[in-house]
Structure 1
Amino acid sequence: MKDGAVWIVDKAGHRRDTVRIKWYEDGAGRTYRQHHLGSDEVPNVPIARGDLARVDFYPRDAVPVFVGHYWLTGTPTPLAAIVACTDYSVAKGGQLVAYRWDGESKLSAEKFHWVGKE
């Protein structure tokens, strides 16, 4: 921390003062590490109330959404009841992942299919 700002040095040695948050969850009362979508390198300090003032969270009653570009690892599972990521790092040797969506309003881990590691 410097001058009250929170920052990390990423694996490439770059200093970062922004993080990818769990935009589908409310971050109130959480730390940056708890609300960050990614590594544990993010500081475990409380999120300042003003830092969430401009964030519109994805409504819990919205239609399911499928996303990528997150480079996840491990066993595929929904990020939230209506959010699924199918990017499990296949370009880095991870799994090629798909989700069989049949119109359900809540997503299920059993509907993920993949080939590769795990």
Structure 2
Amino acid sequence: MPEGHSIVDKAGHQRDSVRIKWYEDGTGRTYRQHHLGSDEVPDIEIASGDLATVDIYPRDAVPVFVGHYWLTGTPTPLAANVACTDYSGAKDGKLVAYRWDGESELSADKFHWVETE
């Protein structure tokens, strides 16, 4: 985050960094648009130098499945070749899986889940 800006995470901790969408180019976007998480991130433009060290995951790379994001809502690919299967299964969310058959472009209809309590 730019100097002087911070967010408070869901556990109440003040943070001066945010998780960005490493699978999308953030050029010309705001921190809120490029943040993977809540809308509590300031809606200020990202300076071009702030993304200078970020390697964007190529759209033609092999699909990757990730976790530790605690997403909500209906599971869907984050990008054509990026899927998260962490939908807060331990905290009244969903226990999520993706049935991958070797396809290079992921599909929302291949997610499977059960609600947890």
The TM-score normalised by the length of structure 2 is 0.93
* Pair 1:37 & 2:20 matched: no
Corresponding residue of 2:22: 23
Residue by residue over 1:56-104, the C-alpha shift from the partner in whole angstroms, topping out at 9 and shown as x without a partner, is 0001110000000000010000000000000000100111100000000
Match of 2:8 in 1: 9
Structure 1: which 5+ runs fail to align?
none
Measured in 1, the distance between the counterparts of 2:94 and 2:12 equals 27
**Count of aligned pairs between the two proteins:** 116
One-letter code aligned to 1:5: G
Cα separation, 1, equivalents of 2:85 and 2:69: 9
1:61 maps to which residue?
A: 60
Change in 2 beyond 3 A, CA 1:15/1:60: same
* Runs ≥4 residues deviating over 4 A: none
2:4, 2:50 → 1: CA distance? 11
Q: Which runs of 5+ in 2 are unaligned?
A: none
Whether 1:95 aligns to 2:98 is no
TM-score normalised over the length of structure 1: 0.92
**Mapped partners of 1:50, 1:31: distance in 2:** 13
> Is 1:73 the equivalent of 2:72?
yes
CA RMSD of aligned residues (A): 1.6
1:49 aligned residue? 48
Displacement after TM superposition at 1:6 (Å): 2.2
Deviates more, 1:37-46 or 1:8-17: 8-17
